[in-house]
């Protein structure tokens, strides 16, 4: 700030300009230099070439002094928020897992299974808050993708990497059954988003089957 302010004062326009008051003293040029370095404005009007050179030099200094550190600070905050969100999600998963194990132990040692179920449900449902959804967005949670992949691998009995019609209808039946039972009992294990992904998978399978049919038809003609 001091260097550019002194340069701007001694290389100020010799002829009166619209913003001549900005170059009237060292204090005025320091204020103008601070505004330029922080990207809040600059001198206007017809300036001589040497004053324009100082203005350009001040703009170059602002990149290293303010623009780059500000962007690095922003990246640092984003990385820290992502790390904290991933940690919070991991802790929530561990709590949910412990709550599920405690619920199973409680139900196996007592005859009141309904009370054990309600307690486990209250503990798990308390984690499904807007904060957890926000954390999933930041951390890029892939829990639903893992569930879908596990269902796909379970349905692919022959380990061919693709689903046949029988395998696909079987996995769709399981999804629809779980979704319908979740609506009645409040224990839906498959979310609507997962059902939409399965439907997209169905469309992709149909598209692949059509392409394979066309290829087989061409091979049969030859």
The pair of three-digit structure tokens given for residue 200, joined into one six-digit string: 């997209």
Greater pLDDT, 102 or 213:
213
Q: What are the pLDDT digits (tens) for 41-99?
A: 677 767 778 877 887 787 777 776 676 777 777 777 777 777 777 777 777 777 877 77
Question: Which DSSP state fits 217?
Answer: H
Question: Which DSSP state fits 40?
Answer: S
Q: What are the pLDDT digits (tens) for 160-212?
A: 666 666 666 666 666 666 655 554 444 444 566 777 777 888 888 888 888 88
**Is residue 94 a contact partner of residue 71, using CB atoms and an 8 Å limit?**
no
Strands in the chain per DSSP E? none
């Amino acid at each position: 700030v001091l260097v550019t302010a002194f340069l701007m004062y001694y290389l100020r326009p010799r002829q009166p300009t619209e913003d001549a008051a900005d170059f009237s003293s060292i204090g005025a040029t320091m204020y103008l230099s601070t505004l330029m370095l922080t990207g809040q404005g600059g001198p206007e009007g017809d300036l001589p070439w040497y004053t324009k050179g100082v203005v350009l030099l001040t703009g170059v200094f602002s990149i290293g002094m303010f623009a780059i550190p500000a962007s690095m600070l922003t990246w640092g905050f984003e990385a820290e928020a992502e790390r904290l969100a991933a940690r919070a999600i991991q802790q929530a998963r561990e709590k949910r897992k412990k709550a599920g194990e405690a619920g199973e132990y409680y139900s196996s040692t007592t005859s009141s299974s309904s009370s054990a179920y309600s307690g486990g449900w209250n503990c798990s449902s308390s984690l499904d808050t807007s904060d957890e959804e926000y954390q999933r967005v930041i951390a890029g949670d892939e829990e639903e993708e893992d569930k879908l992949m596990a269902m796909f691998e379970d349905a692919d009995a022959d380990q061919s990497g693709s689903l046949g019609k029988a395998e696909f209808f079987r996995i769709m039946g399981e999804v629809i059954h779980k979704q319908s039972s979740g609506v009645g009992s409040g224990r839906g294990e498959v979310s609507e988003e997962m059902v939409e992904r399965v439907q997209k998978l169905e469309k992709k399978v149909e598209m692949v089957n059509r392409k394979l049919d066309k290829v087989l038809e061409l091979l049969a003609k030859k």
